[in-house]
Structure 1
């Protein structure tokens, strides 16, 4: 069966799901998106993702032509139509078709697109043995240029850093902000563990406020672990006992090496492993959501 894609509330076969080549989402990266996951047929923190999508849209003066409840229902319906229970969901809202100029006033009909499919971001063995990363020379966007809290369609900044990582033989790359402080990786938030305390860059470090990031912070605090959100630099990463990344697609994955420097003993640490298992229990409904 061909997968169906929802565009403005109508379902199309995957091969026939199309938008105009004059859409400003294509021409200029003018739009916003969200990546979501479903487990056992239930979308994980759907309301949080919808809220963040609308916040991103509002920040770029883009009005989404659907009510929040209507969009949430469309996500669930698209999953059902495609008979998917464990899936990745991409929500995209573009500015709509317009002229070849930048002026968004000359656009019309924003496109609301829902894609549901399977995804496997990292090989299974990396969750068991850990991931190696490098520090990218490409810094995170300056917040005065494009606020990193906006999840926009223009991901060239992240893609360039990703290329640096893959060219170095790594599947992820660490990005610093304009002050040289640790921000996040190209698609994931970063955490370290030092003497039993969890540390992660604060929002003002130029990060996207990850939904999975917050879920893991909540899980850690529920079991009595201290989580500190603060300014961090590479020294913190290099001298950590443990390190891990979080993201919708990545979930919780250990990092065992940064810039060819082993982190801790070079193996996934006990707190990382515990949070990985607790997160899986959470999303599978084995604990409260």
Structure 2
């Protein structure tokens, strides 16, 4: 926290921190395997852009952030886990005006997070939420901010329905993503995912899947999708740093043709192999992976 390693129980922020009071800040979730951060530089680049979009000055440059991540991984009790890198606006006066916030707070949490582990084994059950994704003309989805109220409302719907995840539509009725993950479908051997312009986060794992699809010769593209496309898809799966790759079994009670499907299985295998190539038998990241 702000350059000092400490037990989680000792890490605190002021009740006047605008990250707590107003969700004013940015974050990245980062996986590490074999004590090496996966796709670290892509995460730090997105963090930088999110902060710039909020006119939030990062207290450290990318080299210092990379060293801090490496130090946190070294101190973590496990060889693999999840990091949450958070930058808040910092302490300020009550009221949303950020000018009173003089110094951002930056902390990195190392913990375990196995999101949707059971769903990964049996296939996730999805619903389409009534809660709509905020439009990009109001809050651009490329900003990974601390304010998650919109997807939290969708996740509450999934909880009440006994589902694993909620798919969010935009105001035009097109698919954006899950409450905390990107979404892919397979139709006729083609891999399709909603574009960021429809409200999807430009996910790091999403980008990796598109990269792997190109390597495997799988036709893939960004394309606007509707609930009909989800209901009639041959396969569907979720991607995210926390979730990794999760096959989908049914959507709104409609079973998918395949779960896990053949394309998902190929991509999941390639994803695991990529992690091994980039993270195994290498020292903890001190400069980050080249992108």
Q: Same fold (TM over 0.5)?
A: yes
Q: Secondary structure at the match of 2:246?
A: strand
| Alignment of 1:209 onto 2:202 | yes
| Alignment of 1:272 onto 2:274 | no
| Alignment of 1:281 onto 2:273 | yes
| 8 Å contact kept, 2:38–2:278 | no
| Alignment of 1:193 onto 2:191 | no
What does residue 69 of structure 1 align with? 63
The partner residue of 1:182 within 154, 175, 180 is 175
Q: Secondary structure at the match of 1:12?
A: coil
Q: Secondary structure at the match of 1:207?
A: coil
Superposed CA deviations along residues 26-74 of structure 1, whole A, max 9, x for unmatched, are 0000000000000111100000000000100000010001011101110
| 8 Å contact kept, 1:120–1:249 | yes
Q: Residues 157 and 21 (structure 1 numbering): CA distance in 2 closer, same or farther, change over 3 Å?
A: same
| 8 Å contact kept, 1:128–1:268 | no
Following the alignment from structure 1 to structure 2, what is the Cα–Cα distance between the partners of residues 63 and 110?
7
The partner residue of 1:163 within 153, 156, 165 is 156
Higher relative contact order (CA 8 A, sep 6+): 2
Q: Secondary structure at the match of 2:63?
A: helix
The Cα of 1:83 is off from its aligned counterpart by: 3.8
What does residue 238 of structure 1 align with? 231
Q: Residues 230 and 218 (structure 1 numbering): CA distance in 2 closer, same or farther, change over 3 Å?
A: same
Following the alignment from structure 2 to structure 1, what is the Cα–Cα distance between the partners of residues 262 and 278?
21
Superposed CA deviations along residues 115-159 of structure 1, whole A, max 9, x for unmatched, are 0111111234x3232111000011111112111110000000010
| TM-score computed with the length of structure 2 as normaliser | 0.94
The Cα of 1:286 is off from its aligned counterpart by: 7.4
Q: Residues 63 and 287 (structure 1 numbering): CA distance in 2 closer, same or farther, change over 3 Å?
A: closer
| Alignment of 1:57 onto 2:51 | yes
The partner residue of 1:105 within 87, 99, 110 is 99
Q: Secondary structure at the match of 1:11?
A: coil
Superposed CA deviations along residues 59-112 of structure 1, whole A, max 9, x for unmatched, are 001000101110111011111022432010000000000011111001121001
| TM-score computed with the length of structure 1 as normaliser | 0.94
Q: Residues 286 and 156 (structure 1 numbering): CA distance in 2 closer, same or farther, change over 3 Å?
A: closer
| 8 Å contact kept, 2:33–2:279 | no
What does residue 4 of structure 1 align with? none
Q: Secondary structure at the match of 1:145?
A: coil
Q: Secondary structure at the match of 1:149?
A: coil
Following the alignment from structure 1 to structure 2, what is the Cα–Cα distance between the partners of residues 94 and 192?
35
Which sections of structure 2, spanning at least 5 residues, go unmatched?
281-288
Query: How many residues get paired?
Result: 281
The Cα of 1:274 is off from its aligned counterpart by: 1.5
| 8 Å contact kept, 1:281–1:287 | no
Following the alignment from structure 1 to structure 2, what is the Cα–Cα distance between the partners of residues 84 and 9?
21
What does residue 32 of structure 2 align with? 38
Which structure 2 residues correspond to residues 86-165 of structure 1 after superposition, within 5 A? 86-124=80-118, 126-165=119-158
Following the alignment from structure 2 to structure 1, what is the Cα–Cα distance between the partners of residues 217 and 15?
52
What does residue 285 of structure 2 align with? none
The Cα of 1:262 is off from its aligned counterpart by: 1.1
Report the RMSD for the aligned CA atoms in angstroms.
Answer: 1.5
| Alignment of 1:13 onto 2:25 | no
